[in-house]
Amino acid sequence: MNSQNFRNEQPRRHRLTFAASAISLLLLCAALAGITRVAAQELKPARTAGAAASADHSQNWTSFFGNEQAQSYSPLAQITRDNVKQLAPAWTFPLALHGLESAPLVIDGTLYLEAPNNDVYALDAATGNQLWKYAYRKPAAEGADREGGKGRGLATGFGMLFMGTNDNHVVAIDMKTGNESWNVEVENRKKCGCGINSAPILVKDKIVAGVTGGEVAHRGYLNAFDAKTGKLVWRFYPIPAPGEPGSETWTGEAWKLGGGSTWYTGSYDPDLNLIYWGTSNPSSDFYGDDRAGANLYTDSVIALDADTGKLKWYFQETPHDLWDYDSNPEPVLFDATQNGATQKLVVHSSKNGFAYVYNRVTGKLLRTFPYVDTINWTKGLDKDGQPIQPVMVPAKGKADLLFCPGTPGGRNRNHSAYSPSTGLWYTTALEICSHLNVDEKKYSEVMEGDGMFGGTHMDEASKTSPPHIAAFDPLTGKKQWTFPTTWGNASSLLATAGNLIFAGDVEGKAFALDARTGEKIWSYDTGAVVAGAPISYAINGRQYLAIASGGGSILDPRITLFYPESKGKIPETAPSRLTVFALPDGK
């Protein structure tokens, strides 16, 4: 079904926006033209109740993205273009496991690392010496969630670490001792086929955690738990129940098992008290006849009241998704000014290959632009951000068209970065295309928790566009530079005030790019696929860079399928390790 055919079925996109007209007038009176970013915007200290106490928050890495805005930006500037070539390993921490995607936390000299099996290690952040280990215990028969996710990171506050687990628990661990403080089961994994494979966030006195489930018969949700007790405070369902706003965009009983998971990590604006999160594709991924309509609020960016979980605004980026185009990537918050007035913005990307810039108070769409080079699933987006003549996917059987981006998406589990120093947004572009073979997958024929992919897909590399990392001005959508990544980039990105972008590749090399030009100016062979998220921190005036290697992403096992010439060049089974770099003597 062509998504334009049911466009009139959708509620008006912004009917759930704030009624704060005074704020809206202030923030919307200026057009994007001539807007500039807040110059040299600094990392704001965490203003959430119970956040880790520190004399200088800029020295630590206290959340998955480093700050509440999901910018993946470090304000440390000791490591620069001029001295980055001197970076060398200060220490390493090996794990006898494959698949380390986790981003560590660093709090006042201690580094906390989640392993793929949900074990947690506390290490001396300057030496790598182990202080304690928390061994997560789960029934041997449980296994991981059906989407094969591995733990990607932690949250912290009130003297505890918080972790979502592969078998759908949320756990609190004492930061000093490694003892378990509380452990709650969100929902039985055997029933839902779901789990938690991304970092939660601390919002005031609550831990907010998403859930996997876009490829299973399950109704996704976003949960908030009392950080001190683990008690469920609120739950938001991206798929509305009958009678709720948006329910008219689903047919029959599809809403009960229709996907809409929240598997990646969101962001938070404490001034607005709003949580921003991305939602996944509807289930089944490719067969849509059993869920006619736009299928709100799947494939959307949503803004929720942090205290109640109530929806304040949303924007659906891929109505009636038939291509597995999750909108789960992180909503990145940044500010811009015009004539002395500050405008609060959010840049958000979808697997569909487009990035969207919104006013984050009201949800008003301000701009869209492609962040990948090869897009043919639609002829573009109209002024309202809607796909123009999206390609037809058959109800059953093979789709003749090779569509781009393919089901792996323009970007998948690796996150972007935003630098207040340069005002640029940095992202990976995979440039992978897909063929579909659609299976009829009716809700009446499945049980909750069953796999519900709705067909198969065959992927191949774009013949016209190589994979790359690119820098964009989010206010104009103009690409500033491109850095080719040979086989595709599986790691997340880190921006620093030293005007550097750090990442890693599937051949095992950690590397640094000039944030203004994209020139590669440093690399180091870690010996294993880099699919983790680089972070930076400082101890006693010395800046460190930590990068996890060991693979584990959705991309690295497929590289040899996309690029047969890469066979033998990808260290597919190398064990995981955390490598921490620094300048000699901190200089």
Q: What is the dihedral of CA 209, 214, 219, 223, to 10 degrees?
A: 0
Distance, in Å, from the CA atom of 243 to the CA atom of 178, rounded to the nearest integer, reads 46
* Category of 178 on φ-ψ map: left (φ > 0), alpha (ψ -120 to 50) or beta: left
Catalytic site residue from 324, 373, 505, 514: 324
Candidates 437, 230, 474, 203; CA nearest to 349 is 474
In sequence order, the β-bridge partners of residue 550 are none
CB 147 within 8 A of CB 197: yes
Burial category of 362 from C-beta neighbours within 10 Å (exposed 0-12, middle 13-18, buried 19 and up): buried
Residue 25's contacts (CB-CB under 8 Å, 6 or more residues apart) are none
Continuous segment of H or E residues that includes residue 561: helix 559-562
Q: In what order do the strands lie in the sheet with 36-37?
A: 36-37, 332-338, 341-349, 354-359, 365-370
SS3 523: strand
Long-range contacts (CB closer than 8 Å, 24 or more residues apart) made by 559-563: 559/487, 559/488, 559/506, 561/459, 562/432, 562/459, 562/460, 562/461, 562/487, 562/488, 563/461, 563/487, 563/488
The most distant pair of C-alpha atoms in the chain lies apart, rounded to whole Å, by 66
On the CB side of 348, how many CA atoms lie within 13 Å of its CA? 35
Asked whether 294 and 249 are in contact (CB, 8 A), the reply is yes
CB 417 within 8 A of CB 69: no
User: What's the CA gap between 2 and 319, in Å, rounded?
Assistant: 10
Task: Give yes or no: 439 in active site.
Answer: no
Measured CA distances, 561 to 64, 432, 541 (Å)? 31, 11, 45
What distances in angstroms separate CA 390 from CA 5, 23, 352, 376, 459, one per listed residue? 11, 36, 11, 8, 19
Question: Any idea which residues carry the catalytic annotation?
Answer: 324
